[in-house]
Chains A and B, each alone.
Chain A
Amino acid sequence: AQSVSQHNHHVILSEAASLELGCNYSYGGTVNLFWYVQYPGQHLQLLLKYFSGDPLVKGIKGFEAEFIKSKFSFNLRKPSVQWSDTAEYFCAVNAGNNNDMRFGAGTRLTVKP
């Protein structure tokens, strides 16, 4: 089964700093890739997704992610973070022909005002 690794457990940034959260997966076939965000006390929300096509995917709130197939990576980026981006971010992957989704352990982002 596919697995997902998020190497940063907790990232602390100041407002306006640039963000990059790492995500690597282990699966050799076709994959669909996702980033979810969980704001404090709220439910998981879809931030962006990649199925095919342009490997640079743009999501909500200025986030983007780049799929690099050769590196099995799908890193999340934002050029300038805001205090309101404080949340936990989860990378997820599902193989192209089944419908169970595997999540990483999550990365907690704290943005200091």
Chain B
Amino acid sequence: ETGVTQTPRHLVMGMTNKKSLKCEQHLGHNAMYWYKQSAKKPLELMFVYNFKEQTENNSVPSRFSPECPNSSHLFLHLHTLQPEDSALYLCASSQVTALGYTFGSGTRLTVV
């Protein structure tokens, strides 16, 4: 257990479904992140939240919608996804970036 908990661990969804990924940390960190990990590609930064405010959106399609209700929780709402969105979605948190991130174990998403 890393201190960053992601649920569910695995998710299979159809292209017309709506689902949400959840990330929770109780490390006292004030920044949280969503990354997408696809095979043989760099981890792609999707969203950055500092003190609950979204500070970065790396041209992510609108079918991915993040939500950060407080500094301990981060959600990624999914709707009308495509098969190419199948990947491992990683949540991370940090206090100060220079100290490095703490990653969750990820949610393995399969879109059918």
Q: In this assembly, does B48 line the interface, its C-beta being within 8 Å of a C-beta of chain A?
A: yes
- From B16-24, B75-83, B93-101, the one touching the partner chain is B93-101
Nearest CB in chain B: distance from A63 CB, A: 14
A4-B97 CB under 8 A given contacts A43-B106, A99-B48: no
Q: In this assembly, does B87 line the interface, its C-beta being within 8 Å of a C-beta of chain A?
A: no
Complex partner residue of A42 from B33, B42, B43, B105, CB under 8 angstroms: B105
Q: In this assembly, does A101 line the interface, its C-beta being within 8 Å of a C-beta of chain B?
A: yes
**Complex CA distance for A42 and B90, rounded to whole angstroms:** 12
A32-B42 in contact (CB<8A) = no
Q: In this assembly, does A104 line the interface, its C-beta being within 8 Å of a C-beta of chain B?
A: yes
Name the residue in B55, B90, B97 with the highest tally of chain A Cβ atoms < 10 Å from its Cβ: B97
Q: In this assembly, does A103 line the interface, its C-beta being within 8 Å of a C-beta of chain B?
A: yes
Q: In this assembly, does A51 line the interface, its C-beta being within 8 Å of a C-beta of chain B?
A: yes
Q: In this assembly, does A9 line the interface, its C-beta being within 8 Å of a C-beta of chain B?
A: yes
B100-A34 in contact (CB<8A) = yes
Query: 1/0 contact trace for B97-112 toward A, CB 8 Å?
Result: 1111101111000000
B42-A99 in contact (CB<8A) = no
**Complex CA distance for A34 and B92, rounded to whole angstroms:** 15
Count B interface residues, CB 8 Å: 27
A103-B43 in contact (CB<8A) = yes
Q: In this assembly, does A68 line the interface, its C-beta being within 8 Å of a C-beta of chain B?
A: no
Query: 1/0 contact trace for A79-94 toward B, CB 8 Å?
Result: 0000000000010101
A99-B97 in contact (CB<8A) = yes
A100-B56 in contact (CB<8A) = yes
Which A residues form the contact surface with B (CB < 8 A)? 4, 9, 32, 34, 36, 42-46, 49, 51, 90, 92, 94, 96, 98-106
14 A-B pairs (CB sep. < 8 Å): A43-B90, A46-B100, A46-B101, A49-B99, A51-B98, A94-B97, A94-B98, A99-B97, A100-B48, A101-B45, A101-B101, A102-B45, A106-B40, A106-B42
